[in-house]
Structure 1
Amino acid sequence: MNNTVLPAITIDLVLDRLTTKDVLHGVIHAILFHRLFGTIKPQTFEVLDVTMPGVSDPDTERLVNDKIESFWRAIEGGANKTGQIIITIAEKKLKKNWFSTGEEEVPWEQWTINAELRQPKTDRDRTIFQAKLASTLTETIHKLVEYTSSEKGRGTVPPITDATTISPFPFKITVKVGNIELG
C-alpha cells in the first residue's frame, strides 16, 4: 500500500421516503459516469427535475440497485436513520514480496455519500423539502463536475492502460448503517 493520502469527496444528503432510492441511484450513477473511464454507454436520469448522468450497463445497474436496496432495508427497518454509501476506486498494482508476486488493489479515490432519512409532516413541508433536495442535487452535480475536471481531480487518476472495458479501475460500493457494513 502506498503512503499517499487518499482523496475523499463527501456528499451530504437529507432524504425523504419517497425520493431516497431515486436520489441515491442518480448520485451513484453520476459519480460512476465521471470516474469509470472505459467504454460506457451514457444515459440520464431525471430526479426532482434535475438531470443526472449515468452509465447504461446491466452489471453496473445491478450492483447499484443491490447496494441501494441494502441501504434502504437497513434504514427503513432500523432505528438508525443515517448511513453511508462509499464508492472506492482503485488501481491494480503488482505486489512483490520475498516469496511471490501478485496483484493488489490500491485505492486512489473515495466518494462518501452521507445520507439521512427524514420525513416531512405536511404537504407544504414536503414541497419545501423537495425543493431543498433538488437544490442540493444541483450543487452535488456541480461539485462532482468541478472536482473531476479540476487539476487535483485529474491528477489523482492513475495512468489508464486499458480502456476496452467499462472501467480500467476496479471499484467497490460499500454500504454502512450505524457503522456496520452491509452485504
Structure 2
Amino acid sequence: MEARKRPEYVLEILVDPIYVADIVRGILHTIFFHRYFPSMRPSSLDVLDLTLPVVADPELQTLIETRVGQLVRQLSSTSSPSGGSRGELGVRFFEKRRRKGGLGGWLTSTARGEEEVCWEVWKLKFTLTTPRTETERTALLRAEAPALQKTAMTIVKIVNRDKDHIPPITTSEMNPFPYEILLNPRAESDAKTTGFFA
C-alpha cells in the first residue's frame, strides 16, 4: 500500500494582547470542528463580532484551554514594549495502524501491535503586537476581525479542498483519530514520544 502524503498547513496570525486567548481558542475550535469526526451538537463562540464553531467535547475543550493558557503566558512573559513576541501551536491528527516494524518520525507506539501515524499537521504561528498609541490600537482592532475571518475562511477552504489524505474510519471508537495540540513543536523529524517541546 502506498503511503499517503501528510499535508502540513501553516497559518500566521497577528494578535492584540487583549484578544489573544479568544482568537487562539476560536482558530483551534474551527480546525477541530472540521476534523473531529464523532457526531456532536454544534456550538459557537463569538470573537470580534464573528461567530465561530466550537466542538463541545469536554476532553478537547480542556486540552484547548490548557494550550491557550500556556501560549498566552508564554507570549506575555516574552512581550516587550515594542511588541513582536511570538509563539506557535501545532495540531496533529493520527490514525491507528497495525505495527509493521520500528518506529520513526511521526509514528508512536500505542497498544500492543498498533502505531499512530500522523495524517495531517497544522502549524499556527502567533505574533503578539502591542499598540503603543490609541490610534495604533484602533487600527489593529479594525484589522483583527477581518484577519480572523480570513483565517477561518482559509481553514474552511483547506478542509473542503483537501480530503483525499483523510484515512478511512475503521473503528467504532467515539473519536477514530487521536490528536494532539503542542506548544512550540520541534521539527517534524522528532518522534511524538520525545514530547515535541522546544
The TM-score, its normalising length taken from structure 2, stands at 0.81
Write the mapping of 1:101-140 to structure 2, written as runs, cut at 5 A.
102-140=113-151
Write the mapping of 1:86-101 to structure 2, written as runs, cut at 5 A.
86-97=90-101
Deviations along 1:65-97, whole A, 9 cap, x unmatched? 001111111221136811110100010010034
CA–CA separation in structure 1 for the residues paired with 2:7 and 2:17: 31
* Partner SS for 2:99: strand
Which one of 165, 168, 179 corresponds to residue 171 of structure 1? 179
Question: CA 1:53–1:116 in structure 2 vs 1: closer, same or farther (change >3 Å)?
Answer: same
Post-superposition shift, 1:41?
A: 2.4
Gaps of 5+ in 2: 103-111, 188-195
Instruction: Judge conservation of contact 2:4–2:165 (CA < 8 Å) in 1.
Output: no
Partner AA of 2:156 in structure 1: V
* Partner SS for 1:96: coil
Post-superposition shift, 1:163?
A: 5.7
Gaps of 5+ in 1: none
Instruction: Judge conservation of contact 1:30–1:54 (CA < 8 Å) in 2.
Output: yes
Q: Which residue of 2 aligns with 1:85?
A: 89
For the aligned residues, what is the CA RMSD? Answer: 2.3
Q: Kindly indicate whether residue 197 of structure 2 is the aligned counterpart of residue 181 of structure 1.
A: yes
Moved more, 29-38 or 5-14: 5-14
Q: Which residue of 2 aligns with 1:30?
A: 30
Instruction: Judge conservation of contact 2:7–2:119 (CA < 8 Å) in 1.
Output: yes
* Partner SS for 1:161: coil
CA–CA separation in structure 1 for the residues paired with 2:78 and 2:186: 9
Runs of 4+ in 1 over 6 A off after TM superposition: 177-180
- The alignment-based identity, stated in percent, is 28
Query: How many aligned residue pairs are there?
Result: 176
Post-superposition shift, 1:144?
A: 1.0
CA–CA separation in structure 2 for the residues paired with 1:178 and 1:133: 28
Question: CA 1:32–1:42 in structure 2 vs 1: closer, same or farther (change >3 Å)?
Answer: same
Post-superposition shift, 1:51?
A: 1.3
CA–CA separation in structure 1 for the residues paired with 2:122 and 2:56: 20
Greater fraction of residues in strand: 1
Partner AA of 2:50 in structure 1: V
Which one of 162, 165, 168 corresponds to residue 156 of structure 1? 165
Moved more, 27-36 or 125-134: 125-134
Deviations along 1:89-122, whole A, 9 cap, x unmatched? 0100100349xx6111100000111001111122
Q: Which residue of 2 aligns with 1:53?
A: 53
The TM-score, its normalising length taken from structure 1, stands at 0.87
Instruction: Judge conservation of contact 1:89–1:107 (CA < 8 Å) in 2.
Output: yes
* Partner SS for 1:154: coil
Moved more, 173-182 or 112-121: 173-182
* Partner SS for 2:163: helix
